[in-house]
């Protein structure tokens, strides 16, 4: 159904936001897009574009009022959420409240909420920025453990530590990615990790898809791939769905997309953390649409306008995104054309992030990944074979010296 005579403000115009912009325009909305970059990819698909600093509340508010926008939305981005919550509270848009937003951004507040509401979660302790040693916490730390910043994203500053020496070695680095220097030391959960993509509308949550996650070897935890649907039994899906819905309710999410990371342990599913936003790594923009036919971007826009989201599943396929890995310590000499790869059967999306002259680095966080490719297939085995072949083809297009 088209929405006429209305405009929506979209926060962010990066590569992962293109489908969000397109779906808003397909709904008949005028897109008012703001981004701190002067020439992001989405600028050229916007009806109206403004380059605005991500902390400039007054300018953002003035733009919203000037264009009489009917709603505000973003995709995978966490940086604008606090500003958006404040704007929504003042101007009456549908969005999470500042309190809910803070619980979803602050990993310690999230854990406290889960503890209070009896949600199964990865337990942890808070290390404040003025604590130069961990001495007083030794009796609370069990190895192996996970160290992470209190409020970072994209695996920045996250490490698995097997002993005291490893923990101390990563302590200061993890602090660097925390806005105030606080870090968490979290229990290491044994099991298989998944993410759950969901849309909550008027307090009712619909699970759109279960995503299987692939990461680098420890001590890092950088995501190298995502596959849908996850290889789970119906019983496991029911158990995960119940925990995720309880977690979203506990956090206070009522009208929002969400991306929840879950560890399936011997004791059942436990929440690692929840983002009150669409899933990154092109999970929302391409991966889920390829496996189900559901556009989570479209649904997020509809929810932002107070409209019932279109979550009808149009098909059941398998889809996967894989991030290629390159040897560290090399220089990118050339990035060869790869348009022919996009024409291969099942390929949905592909992008190379590195450019000639870039230095390859070990993968310690998501922004260092050099390229990715996403494809769909009718079966899991067919998909895995395609991904092995296609990712090698893409890797070979990046010439190193």
**Going residue by residue through the chain (401 aa), what tens digit of pLDDT does each one get?**
788 889 999 999 999 999 999 999 999 999 999 999 999 999 999 999 999 999 999 999 999 999 999 999 999 899 999 999 999 999 999 999 999 999 999 999 999 999 999 999 999 999 998 886 777 888 889 999 999 999 987 778 899 999 989 988 988 889 999 988 999 999 999 999 999 999 999 999 999 999 999 998 888 888 999 999 999 999 999 999 999 999 999 999 999 999 999 999 999 999 999 999 999 999 999 999 999 999 999 999 999 999 999 999 999 999 999 999 999 999 999 999 999 999 999 999 999 999 999 999 998 888 899 999 999 999 999 999 999 999 999 999 999 99
- Beta bridge partner(s), residue 398: 335
pLDDT at 134: 78
Let me know: does 29 contact 45? Beta carbons within 8 Å.
no
Instruction: Find the CATH number of the domain harbouring 29.
Output: 3.40.50.20
Based on the domain organization, do 183 and 222 belong to the same domain? no
pLDDT at 314: 97
Based on the domain organization, do 80 and 36 belong to the same domain? yes
User: Is 70 part of any domain?
Assistant: yes
Based on the domain organization, do 42 and 83 belong to the same domain? yes
Let me know: does 219 contact 199? Beta carbons within 8 Å.
no
Instruction: Find the CATH number of the domain harbouring 170.
Output: 3.30.1490.20
CB-based contacts of 278: which residues, under 8 Å, 6+ apart? 20, 74, 75, 76, 197, 257, 259, 284, 285, 296, 297, 300
User: Is 73 part of any domain?
Assistant: yes
User: Is 164 part of any domain?
Assistant: yes
Based on the domain organization, do 222 and 171 belong to the same domain? no
CB-based contacts of 44: which residues, under 8 Å, 6+ apart? none
Let me know: does 290 contact 314? Beta carbons within 8 Å.
no
Give the CA dihedral 83, 261, 317, 21, nearest 10 degrees: 10
| Domain C-terminal end among 95, 112, 143 | 95
Cα separation values, 107 from 110, 122, 256, 279, 386, Å = 5, 11, 18, 17, 37
Based on the domain organization, do 143 and 73 belong to the same domain? no
User: Is 178 part of any domain?
Assistant: yes
pLDDT at 319: 98
pTM of the entire structure?
0.94
Predicted confidence (pLDDT) per residue in 67-117, tens digit? 999 999 999 899 999 999 999 999 999 999 999 999 999 999 999 999 999
Based on the domain organization, do 248 and 217 belong to the same domain? yes
CA distance 18 to 44: 10
Rounded to a whole number of angstroms, the CA Rg of the chain reads 21
* Burial class (CB within 10 angstroms; exposed 0-12, middle 13-18, buried 19+) of 267: exposed
User: Is 282 part of any domain?
Assistant: yes
Based on the domain organization, do 36 and 90 belong to the same domain? yes
pLDDT at 285: 94
Identify which of 214, 188, 162 has the alpha carbon closest to the alpha carbon of residue 325: 214
| Domain C-terminal end among 79, 95, 111 | 95
pLDDT at 220: 80
How many structural domains does the chain have? 4
Let me know: does 184 contact 124? Beta carbons within 8 Å.
yes
| Domain C-terminal end among 292, 316, 340 | 316
Based on the domain organization, do 205 and 239 belong to the same domain? yes
- Beta bridge partner(s), residue 9: 32, 72
CB-based contacts of 123: which residues, under 8 Å, 6+ apart? 111, 115, 186, 187
CA distance 58 to 381: 52
Let me know: does 298 contact 310? Beta carbons within 8 Å.
yes
Identify which of 3, 79, 4, 99 has the alpha carbon closest to the alpha carbon of residue 34: 79
CA distance 91 to 68: 10
The residue segments making up the domain with residue 130 are: 123-187
Based on the domain organization, do 58 and 148 belong to the same domain? no
Based on the domain organization, do 253 and 372 belong to the same domain? no
User: Is 107 part of any domain?
Assistant: no
User: Is 105 part of any domain?
Assistant: no
User: Is 56 part of any domain?
Assistant: yes
Let me know: does 262 contact 271? Beta carbons within 8 Å.
yes
CA distance 2 to 84: 25
Report the relative pairing of strands 145-149 and 347-352 from DSSP bridges: unpaired
Instruction: Find the CATH number of the domain harbouring 337.
Output: 3.30.470.20
pLDDT at 136: 81
* Burial class (CB within 10 angstroms; exposed 0-12, middle 13-18, buried 19+) of 82: middle
Based on the domain organization, do 200 and 162 belong to the same domain? no
Q: What is the DSSP string of 257-295?
A: EEEEEEEEETTEEEEEEEESS--TTTIIIIIHHHHHS--
Based on the domain organization, do 351 and 376 belong to the same domain? yes
Alpha helices in 92-176 (DSSP H): 98-105, 107-116, 164-176
CA distance 101 to 103: 5
């Amino acid at each position: 159904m088209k929405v006429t005579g209305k405009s929506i403000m979209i926060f962010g115009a990066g590569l992962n936001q293109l489908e969000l912009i397109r779906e808003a325009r397909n709904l008949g909305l005028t897109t008012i897009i703001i981004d701190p970059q002067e020439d992001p990819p989405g600028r050229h698909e916007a009806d109206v574009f403004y380059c605005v600093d991500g902390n400039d509340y007054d300018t953002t508010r003035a733009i919203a009022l000037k264009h009489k926008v009917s709603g505000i939305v973003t995709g995978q981005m966490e940086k604008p959420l606090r500003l958006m919550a404040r704007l929504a509270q003042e101007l009456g848009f549908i969005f999470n409240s500042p309190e809910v937003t803070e619980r979803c951004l602050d990993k310690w507040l999230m854990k406290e909420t889960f503890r209070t509401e009896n949600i199964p979660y990865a337990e942890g302790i808070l290390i404040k920025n003025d604590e130069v040693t961990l001495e007083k916490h030794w009796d609370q730390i069990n190895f192996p453990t996970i160290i992470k910043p209190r409020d970072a994203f994209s695996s920045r500053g996250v490490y698995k530590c097997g002993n005291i020496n490893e923990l101390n070695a990563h302590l200061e680095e993890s602090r660097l990615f925390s806005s105030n220097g606080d870090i968490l030391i979290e229990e290491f959960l044994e099991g298989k990790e998944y993410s759950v993509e969901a849309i909550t509308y008027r307090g009712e949550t619909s699970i759109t898809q279960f995503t299987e996650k692939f990461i680098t070897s420890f001590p890092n935890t950088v995501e190298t791939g995502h596959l849908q649907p996850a290889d789970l039994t119906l019983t496991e899906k029911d158990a995960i769905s119940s925990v995720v819905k309880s977690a979203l309710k506990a956090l206070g999410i009522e009208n929002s997309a969400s991306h929840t990371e879950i560890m399936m342990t011997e004791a059942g599913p436990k929440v690692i953390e929840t983002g009150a936003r669409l899933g990154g790594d092109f999970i929302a923009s391409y991966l889920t649409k390829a496996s189900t036919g559901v556009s989570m971007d479209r649904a997020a826009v509809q929810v932002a306008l107070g409209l019932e989201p279109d979550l009808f599943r149009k098909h059941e396929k398998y889809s996967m995104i894989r991030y290629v890995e390159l040897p560290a310590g090399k220089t990118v000499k050339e990035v060869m054309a790869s348009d022919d790869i996009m024409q291969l059967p099942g390929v949905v999306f592909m992008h190379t992030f590195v450019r000639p002259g870039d230095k390859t680095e070990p993968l310690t966080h998501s922004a260092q990944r050099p390229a990715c490719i996403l494809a769909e297939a009718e079966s899991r085995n067919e998909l895995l074979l395609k991904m092995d072949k296609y990712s090698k083809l893409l890797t070979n297009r990046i010439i190193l010296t």
